């Protein structure tokens, strides 16, 4: 079944669409988010937003949607690129199906976790 | 001799078969195995691989964000612990490298857009920088808005 999914051109187009949408979202949103939370706040370059401020933001449905999209689509972007990196880089053809399942399984798991966390916050 | 011809015809008609007919001149596939480091030789290949690897930085960022959301949902003490952990030299180094890769992804993504979707106006192809430029404007606008949301004093 997975082998068929990997080979049917229409499905490949579907995965490419997810890859592409994730690429746009990652390109637009991740640099600033990573710069602020990964570098600027921890290194004290900019004043860190307080816990209350972040929770208040997180209670807005728009912010929830924003964060959900920011987590989910880039994971599918990663799954697409990374599985081809594994296919071409490792060149162990008989494991390609496993790579496929691990990459998209990972993306689905991350999406589910993001959905759960944002829903329950 | 005739048997071989028939064997060959069956394969030709049915496409691939699991049992290839034995012939005296069975073809051996010539497959040159590439070294794992084939991409180090040329700049063009190197940027291709770096672009592929940028996806790991993207996934890294999402995983860190999921941990951040989990810490936020557990309360102020857990979030304070998360923030302290983000200050460790290892996390700063990882995030620094990831940031470089993500910016590399953004730039290559925006610059590839005019080639992936050539825009034509009055029958002429719009120059590439004219197609890429709005992406950069949007990028700056989004970044400014996110910064404003996080940095404004409530």
pLDDT in tens, A4-31: 666 666 778 899 999 999 999 999 999 9
Residue (of B107, B130, B118) closest to B51 by Cα position: B107
Domains annotated for chain B, with CATH where assigned, are 40-151 (1.20.1300.10)
State the total domains in chain A: 1
| B86, burial (CB in 10 Å: exposed 0-12, middle 13-18, buried 19+) | buried
What does the pLDDT look like over B3-47, one tens digit per residue?
444 444 444 445 555 666 666 776 777 777 777 787 777 888 888
Q: Structural domain of residue A108, as residue ranges?
A: 2-120
Cα distance from B129 to chain A (closest Cα, Å)? 17
Q: Summarize pLDDT for B43-74 with one digit per residue, the tens.
A: 888 888 899 999 999 999 999 999 999 999 99
Q: Is B89 on the interface with A (CB under 8 A)?
A: no
* Chain B contact for A16 (CB, 8 A cutoff): no
ipTM of the complex: 0.91
What digits encode the pLDDT tens for the residues B125-135? Answer: 888 888 889 99
Is the minimum CB–CB distance between B63 and chain A shorter than 8 Å? yes
B86 to A75: CB separation less than 8 angstroms, yes or no: no
Angle, CA A110 vertex, CA A17 and CA A72 arms, to 5°: 35
B-chain residues within 8 Å CB-CB of A80?
55
Q: What is the CATH number of the domain that holds A89?
A: 1.20.1300.10
């Amino acid at each position: 079944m997975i082998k068929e999914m990997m080979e049917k051109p229409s499905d490949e187009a579907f995965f490419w669409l997810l890859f592409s949408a994730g690429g746009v979202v990652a390109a637009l949103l991740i640099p600033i988010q990573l710069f602020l939370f990964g570098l600027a706040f921890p290194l004290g370059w900019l004043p860190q937003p307080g816990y209350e401020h972040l929770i208040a933001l997180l209670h807005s449905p728009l912010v929830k949607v924003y964060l959900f999209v920011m987590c989910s689509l880039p994971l599918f972007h990663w799954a697409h690129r990374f599985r081809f990196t594994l296919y071409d880089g490792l060149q162990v053809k008989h494991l390609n199906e496993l790579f496929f399942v691990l990459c998209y399984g990972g993306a689905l798991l991350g999406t589910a976790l993001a959905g759960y966390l944002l829903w329950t916050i | 001799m005739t048997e071989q011809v028939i064997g060959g015809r069956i394969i030709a008609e049915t496409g691939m078969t699991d049992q290839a007919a034995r012939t005296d001149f069975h073809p051996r596939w010539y497959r040159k195995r590439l070294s794992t480091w084939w991409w180090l030789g040329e700049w063009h290949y190197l940027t291709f691989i770096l672009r592929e690897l940028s996806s790991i930085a993207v996934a890294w960022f999402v995983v860190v964000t999921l941990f951040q959301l989990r810490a936020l949902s557990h309360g102020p003490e857990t979030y304070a612990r998360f923030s302290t952990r983000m200050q460790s030299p290892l996390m700063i180094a990882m995030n620094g490298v990831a940031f470089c890769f993500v910016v590399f992804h953004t730039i290559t993504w925006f610059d590839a857009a005019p080639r992936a979707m050539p825009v034509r106006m009055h029958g002429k192809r719009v120059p590439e920088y004219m197609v890429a430029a709005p992406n950069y404007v949007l990028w700056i606008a989004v970044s400014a808005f996110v910064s404003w949301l996080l940095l404004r004093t409530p």
